[in-house]
């Protein structure tokens, strides 16, 4: 049973009286990310008044609980899972919980961000404290009413009880608002959880499937205009001139003009990544009218910097100069050991740029006036973009209002909010509310891609087939995927990790499981090759290394827990019945650690008409306590399919700076018929506080897939995408 201080960091727990509405309102300035609750239709009656504040846990006089949701929802289902944590400690009836999405408010909340698989992990203690402290003041109020010690009062499903006497939470909510918040609070024992760890359906599920307005593209405002933009057709080009006469003459068009979203002297934040900042903009009364007029633009572009092609990238990746290579970690004397080794295995792996291709293209609503700016739309980094909007529009921070909609996909793409700035600049110029909408082609050719990567591996075995040295040299355009302190670091006496990068004007950004989305798959494919060279079962080989890392680790900076790593391997071996696969089924295994969690996979595939068919994927996951099994299982299933799809089919290529792929007819995504026929998910039972889950299932399955493909074909594939014969890096 944990005891927590109710003051956290520089921001403290705040309790505010809400007597006017007959309710208890508890506001948390440190509440990292508290999310939804339940379908409103489950609540029979609403209180007469709700307080219009940005961040709070609120109890009405009828016992209904509202929890504001500060963080963005991008489909990871935290809007259901996070209120479960509050409801657990509050001992509330889950059927009486509803949720509202909070706007950005940095005075009330910290880390209003969706990224890094951190929402549950970062909010765990804060959310528990929110519920526990509210429950404490409710017990105080009941104790005062009954004139009994608080310690004798129990709670269950929104009911306070003392020796047969009962009160609903709503009956003492007003009195509770005047109670003193304790300096520290006692949390439930994890073994007493009754909501956390139980399956709860997505609170927005019915709205999603019935098409209710939830997303940025759904936004409609009175007097709103629509805007679209034309950006340079190639990375390295800039605007020279344009003729808008024909476009301006089209029906419904209000204006056509050029603009710079980011002036040359503007100091960008990391979230302001954008390869293009100069556009020709078309503004009109409807999407169709604007899109039609955009096609009539006559725009001339000129070269501003190097026009890169995929052929150039391939040449660069094949000739990495020693001057750009840096040693990230070195244990022992790997160079000497390699010289004297009985056997050396060397392999090179590459992967292309990738597009995020979110289902909902970039969009944002902006209404900018002389003294304020209102923004509504899908953004993963509202707090960062508030600062950018303030600087770009010349308005103080307190005059910037950002409201978040649910996102139709993020995967890292919406960490970079240039489209919010673009909407704001257009609205400011037009002196009218505007919704900026990208077409699919606009989005896919804009950049902020997953970088192109290369990794060179080398392993040394002694005469007894023991792994005695390991070398990885990894880099990319323009980012390195290397994690020098991850496995097999710590498990090999002689270890060398080197990193390098090459510059590019093609903009890149975080892609689901950044860097891990490449390095995990190639590392696990290579380890399988080393295991085969050593004549050992691939799971046994990995477990031997884990044992070494656990009992006699090399170095002090290893960033993984070898026992938890081994645990998911043992679990997936058990659940898949490793070693007893059906005839004609070819198996591959992998395991990886990222975002504080561990995932192991076994992929089963068979060949039909000379094409691989993925029959089943087994997933073993250690992410600490699983808050909502439905949401967690969905994340693992989705991440598994996503990883397989990108590894098998996806690539962005370029000719003279121009992307070759502009829509889904040329950018290949996995089809329904190509997805695994079954994904079986198993979670390690744990009482460790929750860790990341949105991203960890994506990286390792790529290695298991590569290993299964080798078993099926007898041929190793070293370049992604595996199935795109027209595009092979290296």
Phi-psi region of 75 (alpha: psi -120 to 50; beta: other; left: phi over 0): left
pLDDT at 21 over 90: no
Domain 3-203 has CATH 3.30.365.10: yes
What is the model's pLDDT at position 601? 98
End-to-end CA gap in the chain:
55
Which of 1-15, 50-64, 110-124, 394-408: highest mean pLDDT? 394-408
Band (45; pLDDT cuts 50, 70, 90): low
Structure tokens at 8: 């956290």
Could you report the per-residue pLDDT of 257-268, keeping only the tens digit for each? Answer: 999 999 999 999
What is the model's pLDDT at position 725? 56
pLDDT at 70 over 90: no
Could you report the per-residue pLDDT of 480-536, keeping only the tens digit for each? Answer: 999 999 999 999 999 999 999 999 999 999 999 999 999 999 999 999 999 999 999
3 state DSSP class of 716: coil
pLDDT at 726 over 50: no
What is the model's pLDDT at position 524? 98
In contact, 727 and 352? CB cutoff 8 Å: yes
Cα of 435 vs its chain's centroid, Å: 25
Mean pLDDT of 29-35: 34
What is the model's pLDDT at position 95? 87
Count Cα atoms within 13 angstroms, Cβ side, for 292.
Answer: 12
- Residue 241, φ and ψ in degrees, nearest 5: -165, 165
In contact, 504 and 477? CB cutoff 8 Å: yes
What is the model's pLDDT at position 38? 38
3 state DSSP class of 129: helix
3 state DSSP class of 167: strand
pTM (2 d.p.)? 0.92
Domain ranges of the chain: 3-203, 216-305+362-437, 320-354+449-713
Mean pLDDT of 48-56: 33
What is the model's pLDDT at position 173? 86
In contact, 98 and 43? CB cutoff 8 Å: yes
109-118, 312-321, 369-378, 395-404: the lowest-pLDDT one: 109-118
Structure tokens at 567: 């645990």
Mean pLDDT of 284-306: 97
Domain 320-354+449-713: which topology?
Answer: Aldehyde Oxidoreductase; domain 4 (3.30.365)
What is the model's pLDDT at position 12? 39
What is the model's pLDDT at position 27? 55
What is the model's pLDDT at position 28? 44
Mean pLDDT of 242-247: 97
Give yes or no on whether 216-305+362-437 and 320-354+449-713 have one common fold: yes
Structure tokens at 572: 């997936």
User: pLDDT averaged over the chain?
Assistant: 90
Q: How far is residue 588's CA from residue 729's CA, in Å, rounded to a whole number? A: 23
Q: How far is residue 508's CA from residue 504's CA, in Å, rounded to a whole number? A: 9
Count Cα atoms within 13 angstroms, Cβ side, for 306.
Answer: 10
Q: How far is residue 68's CA from residue 57's CA, in Å, rounded to a whole number? A: 7
What is the model's pLDDT at position 82? 85
> Which has the closest alpha carbon to 469: 562, 322, 559, 343?
343
pLDDT at 380 over 60: yes
Which of 1-15, 70-84, 228-242: highest mean pLDDT? 228-242
What is the model's pLDDT at position 177? 80
Band (41; pLDDT cuts 50, 70, 90): very low
pLDDT at 55 over 90: no
More confident residue, 370 or 120: 370
Hey, CA dihedral for 655, 662, 357, 439, is it positive or negative?
A: positive
What is the model's pLDDT at position 310? 96
Interhelix angle 538-551/562-576, rounded to 10 degrees, is: 160
10-19, 53-62, 201-210, 600-609: the lowest-pLDDT one: 10-19
How far apart, in Å, are the Cα atoms of 555 and each of 97, 326, 562? Answer: 49, 19, 14
What is the signed CA dihedral for 662, 667, 673, 676, rounded to 10 degrees? -130
CB atoms within 10 A of CB 24: 31
In contact, 708 and 603? CB cutoff 8 Å: yes
More confident residue, 134 or 704: 704
55-59, 193-197, 202-206, 379-383: the lowest-pLDDT one: 55-59
What is the model's pLDDT at position 108? 72
Beta bridge partners of 59: 24, 65
Band (37; pLDDT cuts 50, 70, 90): very low
Band (437; pLDDT cuts 50, 70, 90): very high
Task: Give 422's contacts (C-beta < 8 A, 6+ positions apart).
Answer: 229, 261, 279, 364, 436
Percentage of the chain exceeding pLDDT 90? 77
In contact, 592 and 706? CB cutoff 8 Å: no
pLDDT at 270 over 90: yes
Band (24; pLDDT cuts 50, 70, 90): low
Q: Which long-range contacts (CB under 8 A, 24 or more apart) does 546-551 make?
A: 546/487, 546/491, 548/491, 548/492, 549/487, 549/488, 549/490, 549/491
How far apart, in Å, are the Cα atoms of 301 and each of 177, 283, 336, 656? Answer: 63, 21, 55, 13
Structure tokens at 684: 């390690």
Task: Indicate the helix (H) or strand (E) that contains 174.
Answer: helix 173-176
Band (25; pLDDT cuts 50, 70, 90): low
pLDDT at 126 over 90: no
- Residue 342, φ and ψ in degrees, nearest 5: -70, -30
Rg (CA), the chain: 28
User: Kind of pairing, strands 434-437 and 253-260?
Assistant: unpaired
What is the model's pLDDT at position 555? 93
pLDDT at 83 over 90: no
Structure tokens at 395: 């308005």
- Structural domain 216-305+362-437, CATH architecture: 2-Layer Sandwich (3.30)
What is the model's pLDDT at position 448? 96
Mean pLDDT of 633-639: 97
């Amino acid at each position: 049973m944990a005891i927590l201080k109710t003051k956290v960091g520089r921001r403290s727990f705040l309790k505010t009286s809400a007597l006017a509405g007959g309710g208890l309102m508890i506001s948390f300035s440190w509440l990292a990310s508290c999310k939804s609750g339940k379908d409103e239709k489950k609540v029979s009656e609403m209180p007469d008044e709700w307080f219009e504040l940005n961040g709070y846990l609120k109890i009405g006089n009828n016992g209904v609980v509202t929890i504001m949701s500060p963080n963005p929802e991008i489909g990871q289902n935290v809007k259901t899972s996070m209120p479960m944590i509050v409801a657990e400690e509050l001992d509330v009836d889950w059927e009486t919980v509803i949720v509202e999405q909070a706007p950005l408010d940095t005075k009330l909340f910290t880390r209003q961000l969706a990224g890094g698989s951190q929402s549950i992990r970062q909010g765990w203690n804060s959310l528990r404290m929110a519920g526990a402290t509210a429950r404490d003041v409710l017990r105080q109020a009941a104790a005062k009413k009954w004139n009994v010690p608080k310690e004798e009062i129990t709670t269950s499903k929104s009911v306070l009880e003392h020796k047969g006497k009962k009160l609903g939470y709503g009956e003492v909510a007003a009195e509770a608002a005047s109670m003193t918040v304790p300096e520290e609070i006692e949390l439930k024992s994890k073994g007493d959880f009754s909501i956390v760890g139980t399956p709860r359906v997505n609170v927005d599920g019915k709205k999603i499937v019935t098409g209710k307005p939830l997303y940025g593209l759904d936004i409609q405002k009175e007097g709103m205009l629509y805007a679209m933009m034309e950006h340079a057709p190639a990375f390295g080009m800039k605007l020279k001139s344009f003729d808008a006469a024909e476009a301006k003459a089209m029906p419904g068009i209000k204006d056509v003009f050029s603009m710079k979203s980011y002036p040359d002297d503007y100091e960008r934040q990391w979230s302001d990544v954008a390869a293009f900042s100069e556009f020709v903009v078309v503004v009109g009364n409807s999407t169709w009218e604007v899109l039609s007029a955009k096609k009539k633009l006559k725009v001339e572009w000129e070269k501003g910097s190097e026009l890169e092609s995929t052929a150039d990238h391939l040449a660069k990746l094949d000739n990495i100069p020693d001057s750009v290579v840096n040693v990230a970690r070195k244990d022992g004397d790997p160079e000497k050991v390699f010289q004297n080794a009985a056997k050396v295995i060397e392999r090179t792996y590459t992967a292309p740029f990738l597009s995020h291709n979110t289902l909902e293209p970039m969009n944002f609503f902006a209404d900018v006036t002389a003294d304020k700016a209102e923004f509504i739309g899908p953004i993963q980094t509202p707090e960062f973009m508030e600062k950018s909007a303030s600087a770009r529009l010349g308005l103080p921070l307190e005059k910037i209002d950002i409201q978040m909609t649910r996102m139709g996909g993020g995967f890292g793409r919406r960490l970079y909010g240039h489209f919010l700035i673009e909407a704001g600049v257009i609205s400011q110029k037009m002196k009218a509310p505007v919704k900026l909408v990208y077409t699919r082609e606009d989005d896919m050719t804009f950049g902020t891609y997953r970088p192109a990567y290369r990794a060179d591996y080398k392993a040394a075995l002694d005469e007894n087939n023991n792994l005695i040295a390991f070398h990885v040299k990894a880099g990319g355009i323009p980012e390195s995927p290397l994690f020098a302190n991850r496995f097999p670091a710590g498990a090999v006496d002689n270890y060398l990790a080197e990193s390098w990068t090459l510059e590019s004007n093609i903009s890149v950004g975080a892609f689901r499981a950044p860097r891990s989305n490449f390095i995990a798959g190639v590392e696990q494919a290579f380890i399988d090759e080393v295991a085969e060279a050593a004549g050992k079962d691939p799971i046994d080989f990995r477990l031997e290394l884990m044992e070494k890392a656990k009992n006699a680790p090399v170095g002090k900076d290893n960033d993984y827990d070898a026992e938890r790593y081994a645990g998911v391997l043992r679990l997936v071996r058990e659940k898949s019945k490793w070693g007893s696969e059906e005839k004609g089924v070819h198996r591959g295994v992998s395991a990886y650690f990222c975002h504080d969690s561990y995932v192991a996979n076994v992929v089963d595939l068979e060949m039909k008409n000379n094409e691989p068919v993925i029959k089943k994927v087994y997933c073993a996951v250690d992410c600490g306590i699983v808050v909502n099994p439905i949401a967690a299982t969905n994340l693992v299933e989705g991440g598994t399919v996503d990883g397989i799809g990108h590894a098998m089919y996806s690539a962005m290529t370029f000719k003279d700076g121009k992307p070759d792929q502009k829509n889904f007819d040329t950018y290949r995504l996995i089809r329904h018929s190509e997805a695994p026929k079954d994904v079986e998910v198993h979670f390690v039972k744990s009482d460790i506080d929750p860790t990341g889950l949105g991203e960890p299932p994506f990286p390792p399955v790529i290695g298991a897939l590569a290993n299964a493909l080798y078993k099926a074909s007898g041929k190793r594939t070293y370049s992604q995408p595996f199935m795109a014969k027209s595009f092979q890096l290296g």
